[in-house]
């Protein structure tokens, strides 16, 4: 394959993903045609099908991209903390941040979730991608809690599910009533107490006793 084609492919894919997110957010996942996505991105159907086999596959690529971006943003914010800032309250505050572009993604992802509830094959595909994201969240959570001197007393994957539920349920209410419940409010109010209830201080290992000495010989 010519080098120019190889270099163009990631740019083409990125442009299609960006166009798809914008178009889905404006008109809805089911209402949007592949032709509309191609027109917005400035590519042909051939370019689309060389990257994605279907709208479902394109959405799942958007899901992975969004998840990676959120995890990366949170990891950068946490890594910038000073050692004394590793408190449950500070971690909850960082987790509560909602970027301005989150609303578009929320509209698209919730619509696809409803589609997956009605379609068993889509549900299985979405569940696989959600499981990978939760695994990343669970690993990161255990690492960050360790820095704060705490450890989970519950299953990490189950707790990650609870955090996702708090986030998505809170945003649903916030986007309906932004004046009553600004985005991220529920995490700011309740995530630290939840972490407190589901974790315990890491106990220091007991000191190793000295090795017995051999009796002196005469």
CB 90 within 8 A of CB 145: no
Token digits of residue 66: 């969004």
Interval 25-83: pLDDT, tens? 999 999 999 999 999 999 999 999 999 999 999 999 999 999 999 999 999 999 999 99
- Asked if pLDDT for residue 179 goes beyond 90, the answer is yes
Q: What's the count of helices (H) and strands (E) in the chain, helices before strands?
A: 9, 2
Query: Could you tell me the pTM of the whole model?
Result: 0.85
pLDDT tier, 209 (very low <50, low <70, confident <90, very high otherwise): low
The whole-angstrom separation of Cα 81 and Cα 113 is 35
Give how far Cα 23 sits from Cα of 12, 18, 213, Å.
16, 9, 76
Domains of the chain: 7-52 (1.10.10), 54-201 (1.10.357)
The whole-angstrom separation of Cα 159 and Cα 192 is 13
- Asked if pLDDT for residue 127 goes beyond 90, the answer is yes
The whole-angstrom separation of Cα 38 and Cα 64 is 21
């Amino acid at each position: 394959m010519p080098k120019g084609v190889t270099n163009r492919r990631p740019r083409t894919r990125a442009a299609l993903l960006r166009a798809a997110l914008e178009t889905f957010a404006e008109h809805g996942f089911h209402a949007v045609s592949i032709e509309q996505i191609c027109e917005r991105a400035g590519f042909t159907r051939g370019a689309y099908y060389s990257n994605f086999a279907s709208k479902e596959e394109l959405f799942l690529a958007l899901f992975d991209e969004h998840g990676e971006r959120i995890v990366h943003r949170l990891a950068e914010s946490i890594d910038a903390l000073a050692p004394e800032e590793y408190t449950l309250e500070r971690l909850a505050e960082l987790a509560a941040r909602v970027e301005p572009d989150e609303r578009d993604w929320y509209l698209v992802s919730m619509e696809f979730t409803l589609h997956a509830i009605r379609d068993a094959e889509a549900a299985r595909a979405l569940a696989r991608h959600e499981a990978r994201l939760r695994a990343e969240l669970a690993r990161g959570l255990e690492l960050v809690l360790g820095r704060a001197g705490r450890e989970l007393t519950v299953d990490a994957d189950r707790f990650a599910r609870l955090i996702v539920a708090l986030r998505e349920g809170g945003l649903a209410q916030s986007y309906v009533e932004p004046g009553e419940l600004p985005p991220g409010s529920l995490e700011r109010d309740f995530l630290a107490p939840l972490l407190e209830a589901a974790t315990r201080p890491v106990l220091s290992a007991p000191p190793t006793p000295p090795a017995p000495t051999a009796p002196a010989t005469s």
